[in-house]
Structure formats: structure tokens, C-alpha cells
Amino acid sequence: MVLGARRPDRLADLASRITDAGGEAAYASIDVRRREGLVTLVDLAQERFGRLDVLVSNAGVMPISPFDELRVDDWMDMIDVNVKGVLHGIAAALPVFREQGSGHFVNTASTAAHRIVATMGVYAGTKMAVRAISEALRQEADGRLRVTVVSPGMTRTSFGSRELTPQVEALLGIAMPPEAVGRAVAYAIEQPDDVDVGEVVIRPAAQT
């Protein structure tokens, strides 16, 4: 497994846990807003393991707010991370997958892309974009590459309190553990090569 994120201390800790469990892990500190970061990650996978089988694009930010607050910088940040980050991953991995003749993109969207609520317009828009991009990529894959969208509901993550409205904070009590999302990703990956799981929507049972 090759890991990429902004915080090297967390990457080192996770890589250590994977190694202690008997796996192999490499990592690079990257920012998905910069295309060269994804190139670095893909290159690392090829150098360390000789190929790239799956690219999971999971980086995301959610500084939601009413439009009247005009938090334009936050809007742009969501576009840069949630949308451009996915595109940078596609640009880095697609040539490698084409050369190999196989590969699997797993892109994280959100249940916000299926149900729009106030204060989440821009965030939902970025996740709708992920679904649209992924579906077009799947159609262009000609059956040789697989593309999966995983759309989680409320999940206990480290988004941070500044990114959560009181309404969203109230939902944290029903949030599912991140391991649930991990199992959904694993389910899509472990299918036979000729089976493509287009989208998995996963949410807490109590989420409306």
C-alpha cells in the first residue's frame, strides 16, 4: 500500500501499523491540490511495487456555510481539493493503467451529492462533480479499467470543528466509523476483474 496525505507524522504512524500487521507500506507527504503530488505518489507505487493496481482518491474538505456569508476562499478550497484533487489523480494514474491494461479508480463522493441541504451547496456541488467525472471516466474505460464512486454519509473523521455547522455537529452522534467506508472500498476492489461496482452509497442507519 502506498499512502499520500499532507501530514507526515500521521502517514508514518499508519505505515508503521500496516507493517506491524504484516503488510508493506510506503508513503509520501503530498497536497492533492498540486498535480505533481499525485505524480509523486504514482511514481512511488511503481518504484516500490512495480505497478499500480488501485488509486483511491479520498482527500476532501467540507467548510460548509450559508451562501450569504460569502466564504469564497472556502468555496475555492473545496473545488481545489474535492474536484481538482480527483482530476490530478486521474491524470497521474490513467496513463499507467492504460499501459498496464488494467487499473481501478475509487473516488470518494458523498451522500450530499444525492440529497441537497441548506449550507452545503458548494460542497454538494463538488461531490456531484466527482460522480459525473467518475461516470464519464467509466464510460471511456472501454471495459478495461474499473471506476467506483463511494458515497459515504456522516462519518467520524477529523474535518475539524471550523468546518461544521451546528446542524452537522448534531449529526456526529450517529456518525459511522471510518472503517465502514474502508470495508465498502474493499468490497469494490475485491470483485472479479470483469465486475465493476459503479457506486456504493453507505450511511449510518439513523441518517435520513
* Residues that are catalytic: 123
Phi-psi region of 70 (alpha: psi -120 to 50; beta: other; left: phi over 0): left
Which segments within 90-176 are labelled E, that is strand?
A: 104-108, 146-152
- 172: DSSP letter: G
CA dihedral 8, 97, 21, 37 (to 10 degrees): 0
Residue 130 to residue 124: CA distance in whole angstroms: 10
For residues 170 and 164, the answer to whether their CB atoms sit within 8 Å is no
C-alpha distances out from residue 107 to 20, 24, 83, 131, 140, Å: 28, 23, 10, 8, 16
